[in-house]
A = this chain, B = another copy of it.
Amino acid sequence: MKKIIGDPPNRDVPHAGKGRRGFLRQGAALVTGAASAGLAQGASAQGLAGDPWERVSGAGFTGYGQPSRFEQPVMRHIGRPYGDLAPGTGSALAPIEALEGVITPSSLHNIRSHSGTPDIDPKQHRLLLHGLVARPLVFSMEALWRYPMTTRIHFVECSGNSNRALAPQPAQVPAGAIHGNVSCSEWTGVPLRMLLEEAGLLPQAKWLLAEGADSAHMSRSIPVEKALDDAMIALYQNGERLRPEQGYPVRLLLPGWEGNMSVKWLRRLKAVAEPTQTKDETSKYTDLLPDGRALQFTFEMGVKSVITKPSSTMTLPRTGYYEISGIAWSGAGRIRRVEVSTDGGATWAEAALTGEERPKSLVRFRLPWEWTGKEAVLQSRATDEKGRVQPPRKEWVAQFAADVRYHNNSIVSWSVGADGSVKNVYV
Contact = CB atoms under 8 A, between A and B. Distances in A.
Contacts of A187: 101
Interface string A109-140: 10101011111111011101111000111111
Interface in A7-55: 9-11, 13-18, 20-23, 26, 36-45, 47-48, 51, 53-55
Given A58-B115, A217-B54, A364-B151, A186 B64 contact: no
Interface string A138-160: 11101110111111100000000
Contacts of A99: 236, 239-240
A23 B320 CA distance: 54
B40 A60 contact: no
A360 B141 CA distance: 33
A82 to B, nearest CB: 11
B74 A119 contact: no
A65 B295 CA distance: 35
A319 to B, nearest CB: 11
Contacts of A39: 139, 143-144, 146-147
A13 B224 contact: yes
Given A3-B296, A39-B147, A88-B59, A23 B245 contact: no
A121 B148 CA distance: 45
| A interface bracket (residues with beta carbon within 8 Å of B) | 35 or more
Given A66-B243, A149-B325, 13 more contacts: A1-B298, A5-B293, A20-B197, A41-B140, A48-B267, A51-B120, A53-B213, A53-B215, A59-B88, A59-B117, A59-B118, A60-B87, A101-B186
A197 B22 contact: yes
A214 B116 contact: no
A323 interface: yes
Interface stretch (A188-196, A338-346, A392-400): A188-196
Given A149-B366, A214-B58, A244 B68 contact: yes
Contact of A45 (B116, B136, B203): B136
Contacts of A150: 354
